[in-house]
């Protein structure tokens, strides 16, 4: 804006100078057959054209820049409020009284768009909750019916029903993650400890080690249940990939990230992108998971302004890195 303003004043000054020189020249006979001496001509142009024009343009430019700076400060104040609301995961409506009147139509349009998106997110969450409820009821009935079958016959079917029920829970959490209104401060260290404690019995049963490291984690704004589900998916994959006697480490930090390091071969970046896009299991297995674990974990990370990444080549494993964090607690 300032560059455009300066360019406009320069063009106006040049055109004004040409017009004034012509007018002064006609007034003092610069273009007549007997023009005044050159020194007198230059003096007249300097006194009646250059100096007044520089004073006028300079004052006008200074005044315009002051007005623009005042408007820019007001815009920056509103932008800071929007960034704070984004960090807290809250919807934001630009206060029109804090903005210049000329920007009101644009701000009103953005507010209407934000309001529609917020309503859409709430509707999506409500639909996902209703759909999950409707699906879980027949699954529960099916699980009870399977209890009547012989154990060896029903075991595989129960595993699939359990996996489908877990998938529905993940999809519901993903839908809730897309609604900023339901997000709260989440301590990544406490979240990691909780997931490690939940999955430690399985690791012991499989003859593997599951441990936790704190590398200086921080808090972020998000839906704790959804983040726990995404992290649990990564740990579950790591335990599946790690051979017996191996170790899986859940590392919180440094900063706004959580890594799950395993004893397997690990995924490189192209392979991870393919798994996330296609929604297939990292171990290419056909049983247990419905094959959407990494894809859903990636979507949950994206809903929290984060990304699912590979830890290679430094280490083998996956991590979720978040782009924003909350300030430390007092």
Which residue shows structure tokens 């390091």? 261
Residue 241 in tokens = 């990939």
The mean-pLDDT minimum among 54-58, 87-91, 263-267, 284-288 falls in 284-288
pLDDT band at 181 (very low <50, low <70, confident <90, very high): low
Task: List own/partner pairs for 223-226 with CB under 8 A and 24 or more apart.
Answer: 223/173, 223/176, 223/177, 223/182, 223/183, 223/184, 223/186, 223/304, 224/184, 224/186, 224/191, 225/173, 225/176, 226/173, 226/174, 226/176, 226/177, 226/300, 226/303, 226/304
Q: Are 304 and 227 in contact (CB under 8 A)?
A: yes
Give φ, ψ of 15 to 5 degrees: -65, -40
The whole-number pLDDT of residue 286 equals 38
pLDDT band at 2 (very low <50, low <70, confident <90, very high): low
The whole-number pLDDT of residue 257 equals 94
CATH entry, 183-322, from 3.40.50.300, 3.30.565.10, 3.60.15.10, 3.40.640.10? 3.30.565.10
pLDDT band at 217 (very low <50, low <70, confident <90, very high): confident
User: Taking the mean position of all CA atoms in its chain, how far away is CA 222?
Assistant: 12
Q: Are 308 and 274 in contact (CB under 8 A)?
A: no
The mean-pLDDT minimum among 15-19, 77-81, 102-106 falls in 15-19
**CA separation (Å) from 231 to 135, 147, 199?**
24, 31, 11
pLDDT band at 213 (very low <50, low <70, confident <90, very high): very high
| pTM confidence score | 0.58
Q: Are 195 and 235 in contact (CB under 8 A)?
A: yes
Encode pLDDT of 42-83 as tens digits: 787 787 777 877 787 788 778 777 877 887 888 888 888 888
Give the residue with greater pLDDT, 283 vs 61: 61
The whole-number pLDDT of residue 284 equals 44
Which residues, including other chains, have CB under 8 Å from residue 321's CB and lie 6 or more apart?
256, 257, 306, 307, 309
The whole-number pLDDT of residue 160 equals 78
What does the alpha-carbon distance between residue 325 and residue 169 come to, in Å, rounded to a whole number? 26
Mean pLDDT of the chain: 80
What does the pLDDT average to over 160-166? Answer: 77
pLDDT band at 10 (very low <50, low <70, confident <90, very high): confident
Q: Are 196 and 250 in contact (CB under 8 A)?
A: yes
């Amino acid at each position: 804006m300032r560059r455009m303003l300066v360019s406009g004043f320069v063009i106006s000054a040049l055109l004004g100078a040409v017009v004034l020189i012509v007018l002064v020249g006609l007034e003092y006979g610069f273009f007549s057959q007997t023009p005044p001496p050159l020194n007198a001509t230059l003096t007249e142009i300097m006194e009646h054209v250059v100096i007044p024009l520089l004073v006028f343009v300079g004052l006008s430019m200074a005044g315009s820049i002051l007005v623009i700076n005042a408007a820019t400060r007001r815009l920056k104040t509103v932008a800071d409020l929007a960034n704070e609301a984004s960090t807290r995961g809250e919807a934001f409506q630009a206060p029109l009284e804090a903005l210049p009147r000329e920007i009101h139509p644009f701000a009103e349009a953005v507010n209407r768009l934000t309001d529609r998106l917020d309503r859409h997110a709430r509707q999506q969450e409500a639909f996902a909750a209703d759909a999950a409820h409707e699906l879980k009821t027949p699954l529960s009935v099916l699980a009870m019916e399977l209890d009547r079958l012989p154990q060896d016959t029903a075991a595989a079917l129960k595993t699939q029903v359990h996996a489908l029920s877990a998938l529905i829970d993940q999809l519901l959490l993903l839908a809730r993650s897309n609604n900023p209104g339901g997000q709260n401060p989440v301590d990544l260290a406490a979240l990691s400890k909780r997931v490690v404690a939940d999955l430690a019995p399985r690791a012991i049963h499989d003859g593997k080690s599951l441990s936790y490291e704190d590398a200086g984690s921080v808090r972020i704004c998000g839906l704790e249940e959804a983040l726990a589900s995404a992290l649990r998916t990564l740990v579950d994959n790591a335990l599946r990939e790690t051979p017996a006697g191996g170790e899986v480490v859940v590392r919180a930090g440094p900063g706004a990230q959580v890594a799950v390091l395993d004893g397997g071969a690990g995924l490189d970046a192209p392979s991870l992108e393919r798994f996330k896009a296609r929604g297939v299991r990292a171990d290419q297995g056909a049983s247990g998971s419905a094959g959407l674990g990494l894809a859903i974990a990636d979507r949950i990370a994206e809903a929290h302004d984060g990304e699912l990444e590979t830890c290679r080549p430094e280490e083998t494993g996956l991590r979720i890195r978040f782009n924003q964090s909350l300030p430390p607690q007092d």
